[in-house]
Amino acid sequence: MILLAVATVDLTALPEPRRRRRRGAVAPAAQGRAAIYLRVSTDEQAADQSGNGGSLSSQEARCRALCTARGLHVAEVFSDPGISSSASAPTARLP
Radius of gyration of the chain (CA): 26
41 pLDDT band, cuts 50/70/90, is confident
The pLDDT score that the predictor gives to residue 34 is 92
Q: Which of 39, 24, 37, 34 lies closest to 69 in space, CA to CA?
A: 34
State yes or no: pLDDT of 27 exceeds 70.
yes
The pLDDT score that the predictor gives to residue 64 is 92
- pLDDT single digits (tens) 44-70: 776 666 666 678 888 899 899 999 998
Percent of the chain with pLDDT over 90: 18
Beta strands in the chain (DSSP E): 33-39, 73-80
CA dihedral 80, 82, 50, 77 (to 10 degrees): 0
